[in-house]
Structure 1
Amino acid sequence: MDDGYASDSTALLVVDPYNDFLSEGGKLWPRAKAVAEQVGLLDHMRQVLAATRSRGIRTLFVPHRRTAPGDYDGWAFPSPSQAATRGARIFEAGSWGGEFHPDFQPLDGELRVQEHWSASGFANTDLDLLLKQHRIAKIVLIGMRANTCIDTTARFAQELGYHVTLVRDAIAAFRPAEMTATFEVNAPTYAHAVVTADEFTEALPPAGTAS
């Protein structure tokens, strides 16, 4: 595993930490709950976020589009996921479900990327620009959902030349098969490291160490 997570060139991407995904009462939580609890998703997300913050590693929040009236009207080719999101008003703008989980709120100086319309945090957003302007070479991904936004954002990152780390127990999905597809089939073809939260935090320099 690569252990060179220098604070001046590494960023943590917190992908789609919405209440609809992560909180009891969220529209998608019933589908995510079994896998999330099996891997200890929320505790491991908290662990990774606290560890990177304590080392001065930059945090970027990478949110999905919050559904609003008129979204996808007249689109030629909305994806099945987009059609489902529209119908169920997932991550609805102005709703509790469309807010971030209370444990994953941006602090002053942390960046909220433009919302992505589909699965890639890079497509049609300012994520690549923000990473390059902050001289980031390595990204670490946590959040939801393994086989959609995590997988696609990570693949896109590798295509753009970034070093990619997935923290496998700080990421969840709706079914075990989706986790297998991401971490056992797909990630070995593009990710530079697939680690647990413990392995990642152990690879960081001591808290308070400048790098």
Structure 2
Amino acid sequence: MSAPTYPHARTALVLIDPLNDFLAEDGKLSGQIGPMLEKTDLRAQLIRLAEAARQAGVTVFYAPHGLHEGVFEDVRHVLPRFRSAVDNQVFWEGTYGADFYPALHPQEGDVVVSRHHMFDSFAGTDLQDQLAARGIEYVVLAGLTSQTCVEGTGRHALEAGYHVTFLTDAVAEFTEEAHRAALEISYPTYGHEVTTIDEFLAAVEASPAP
């Protein structure tokens, strides 16, 4: 099967959780994920991806995590890692940690989606409405983390009928094992395309001449 061409007007780059608690050196999760951020050069990769996507006419969507007091009060069985996140106020709405990493702050024309609370950026947010309002058919995923929110959002996008692309050099995880499992097992299972930043950008349909 030949690689697809991405119509720029119908393609969305969804950046998941480019937040200070992950990416800033003083973020609450920096000590845990920092080695993998360095190994994948994720900060620089996401910056160049977002800039190039905008230049190509692809709409950049931001899908941030967010927690607050009582966020899981209606959830009977909260996953321990989310209990820990609440106890430590990770991605706590209104704080530095939940703000966007400065070099990846949304720009004019970008779309900021309402905050997800667990792994799926569609669940309880306006992502579906925002994509549908712009006639998006192709969803390209990048950000954090490889095996959790990126994978979870991709699974939902597939079930919702979108063409799903995972970018292997635009994601990172806490461990090498989890990262490799996402890239080698999950992404080929749930994605129409598993590719690199450069291969994706090269496949974006050229904007019509002015």
Where 1:97 maps in the other structure, the secondary structure is helix
TM-score (structure 1 length as normaliser): 0.92
The answer to whether the Cα contact below 8 Å between 1:55 and 1:210 also exists between their aligned partners in 2 is no
Superposition RMSD in Å: 1.6
Establish whether residue 15 from structure 1 lines up as the match of residue 50 from structure 2.
no
Distance (whole Å) between structure 2 residues aligned to residue 81 and residue 162 of structure 1: 29
Deviant stretches of 4+, over 4 Å? none
Q: Normalising by structure 2, what TM-score?
A: 0.93
Corresponding position of 2:89: 89
Q: Deviation per CA, 1:79-137, whole angstroms, max 9, x where unpaired?
A: 22211111111012222111100011112232111111110011121111111111100
Question: 2:7 and 2:75 mapped to 1: Cα distance?
Answer: 43
Aligned twin of 1:70: 70
3-state SS of 1:46 partner: helix
Q: Which moved more, 1:27-36 or 1:16-25?
A: 27-36
Q: Which residue of 2 aligns with 1:57?
A: 58
Number of the residue aligned with 1:210: 208
**Please, which moves more after superposition, 67-76 or 85-94?**
67-76
- Give the residue type in structure 1 aligned to 2:208: A
Residues 74 and 48 of structure 1, relative CA distance in 2, 3 Å threshold: closer
Contact persistence 1:60–1:111 (CA under 8 A): yes
Q: Residues of 2 paired with 1:147 and 1:191: CA distance?
A: 13
| Matched residue count | 208
Q: Shift in Å at residue 74 of structure 1? A: 6.3
Amino acid in the other structure paired with 1:163: H
Task: Kindly indicate whether the alpha-carbon contact (under 8 Å) linking 1:47 and 1:197 is maintained by their aligned counterparts in 2.
Answer: no
1:68 positional shift: 2.2
Hey, what's the Cα distance between the residues in 2 that align with 1:63 and 1:38?
Answer: 23
Structure 1, unpaired ranges of 5+: none
Summarize the alignment of residues 3-152 of structure 1 with structure 2, pairs less than 5 Å apart: 3-65=4-66, 67-73=67-73, 75-152=75-152
Aligned equivalents of 2:196, 2:100: Cα separation in 1:
23
* C-alpha distance in 2 between matches for 1:41 and 1:135: 29
* 2:98 aligned counterpart, secondary structure: coil
Verify the 8 A CA contact 2:18 2:64 in the aligned structure 1. Answer: yes
